[in-house]
Structure 1
Amino acid sequence: MLLLAELLLADVALVAGLLALLLPLLRRTQSLKG
């Protein structure tokens, strides 16, 4: 049970990191298109 929680937290942290990297790129491409 504890291992599952740790894996879930690791996945959430990974997704949060990817979003933090991708969001500025998406905003930049949208501003270039606009």
Structure 2
Amino acid sequence: EDEQPYSVVVNRINRIVTLKEGDVELLMPKRKDEVPF
């Protein structure tokens, strides 16, 4: 009940692992036509 949720976030580009407080929203991959570069 009094737990504080944490999320482990791994950056897939540079492999840095961070601990974030709370429930982190996961970003979904985008299609090529949705990315401006």
Q: TM-score range by the shorter chain?
A: under 0.3
Which structure: larger Rg? 1
Greater share of strand residues, 1 or 2? Answer: 2
TM-score if structure 2 supplies the norm length?
Answer: 0.21
Compare relative contact order (CA 8 Å, sep 6+) and give the higher one, 1 or 2: 2
Greater share of helix: 1
TM-score by length of 1: 0.21
